[in-house]
Structure 1
Amino acid sequence: MNSETVSNIEFATADSLLIVRLDGGGKPSYQHVYRAAAGVYWDNDFGAFKFDTKNDKRLVHWFAHVRQVIEDEMDVRLLLDSKTTWTNVPSQIQQEIQLSVS
């Protein structure tokens, strides 16, 4: 299994999108993640996976979903490190996501 480090996790509140940007910018083959029909898409321009959160604010749950889909479909494990940044994600949710990845 390959791994990718997450550079930024963003909750785009206006669009209810969870955006997971990758440190290395990702690979063109990530575009095929949509085939899982799990709502996760690759945006090559952003170097990020995107997921419509259905506006229910369950960010920890949805991050776990995105991470699992990417692992199952792309054979890629998403990792967080000390350089991972957070945009519009409350600190409590950040901590919960960090614990779920460790």
Structure 2
Amino acid sequence: MKTETVNTIVLNENNELMLKITGEGNPSYQYVYREAAGVYWDEKEKGFKSTPLREWTVSKWFFHIKDIVKIGLNLSLEMDNNITWENIPTDEQEKIKNALQ
């Protein structure tokens, strides 16, 4: 299984959760949409993103994206030790951090 490192987690202006990776990615990442699970690759931002958040929390989408990427692309997303959080509520950051320990 391949691995990519997530260095930034962003809730963007479109209310989409994005997990940005440190590298350039791979052209095959665009095919994650085929899982029909609301997860997409953003080539410009170099990250995996959700559809606009409505009913699910940030933390639920975070783990959904990780799972879909793992299943659909055989790719493990690992977290950088110095991750950057942008527009993510503190309680949601804590839920994600605690679940990853």
Same fold (TM over 0.5): yes
| SS of residue matched to 2:82 | coil
**Given the alignment of the two structures, is residue 101 of structure 1 paired with residue 100 of structure 2, yes or no?**
yes
Residue pair 1:53, 1:59 contacting (<8 A) in 2 also? no
Residue pair 1:40, 1:69 contacting (<8 A) in 2 also? yes
Deviations 1:60-96 (A, max 9, x none): 1111111100000011111112221000012221121
What amino acid maps onto 1:98 in structure 2? Answer: K
Aligned to 1:3: 3
Residue pair 1:19, 1:51 contacting (<8 A) in 2 also? yes
Residue pair 2:8, 2:86 contacting (<8 A) in 1 also? yes
Q: Which runs of 4+ in 1 moved over 4 A?
A: none
TM-score by length of 2: 0.90
Report the alpha carbon displacement of residue 57 of structure 1 after superposing the two structures with TM. Answer: 5.7
Q: How many residues align?
A: 101
**Given the alignment of the two structures, is residue 34 of structure 1 paired with residue 50 of structure 2, yes or no?**
no
Fraction of identical pairs, as percent: 35
Structure 1, 66-75 or 18-27: larger mean CA deviation: 18-27
Aligned to 2:90: 91
CA distance in structure 2 between the partners assigned to 1:86 and 1:56 by the alignment: 21
Residue pair 1:10, 1:86 contacting (<8 A) in 2 also? yes
- Equivalent positions of 1:1-102 (< 5 A) are 1-12=1-12, 14-56=13-55, 58-102=57-101
Q: CA RMSD in A?
A: 1.4
| SS of residue matched to 1:56 | coil
Report the alpha carbon displacement of residue 10 of structure 1 after superposing the two structures with TM. Answer: 0.4
CA distance in structure 2 between the partners assigned to 1:38 and 1:4 by the alignment: 20
Residue pair 1:43, 1:49 contacting (<8 A) in 2 also? yes
